[in-house]
Amino acid sequence: MVPFGPVTLTPLSTITVDGRDVRVTLHTAHDGIEFVGRLFFAESGWSNSGIPDRANFPGRSIDDVLGLVRDLQPEELAQRYRRANAEKRRYHGLRQITLEVLAKVRYMNQVGVSMRTGLLDAEAAHQEMELTEAQMLELVVQMKHLAGVEN
Farthest-apart Cα atoms in the chain, separation: 62
pTM of the full predicted structure? 0.60
Apex CA 2: angle with CA 43 and CA 15, to 5°? 20
Residue 85 has what pLDDT? 83
Q: Where are the domains of the chain?
A: 8-86, 92-146
What DSSP string runs through 15-66?
EEETTEEEEEEEEEEE-SSSEEEEEEEEETT--S--EE-S--EEESSHHHHH
Question: How far are the Cα atoms of 37, 39, 68, 105, 148 from residue 13, in angstroms, in the given order?
Answer: 15, 11, 15, 40, 35
pLDDT in tens, the chain (151 residues): 555 668 888 889 999 998 889 999 999 998 888 999 999 999 887 877 788 898 899 999 999 999 999 999 999 999 999 988 887 666 677 878 888 999 999 999 999 999 999 999 999 999 999 999 999 999 999 988 888 777 6
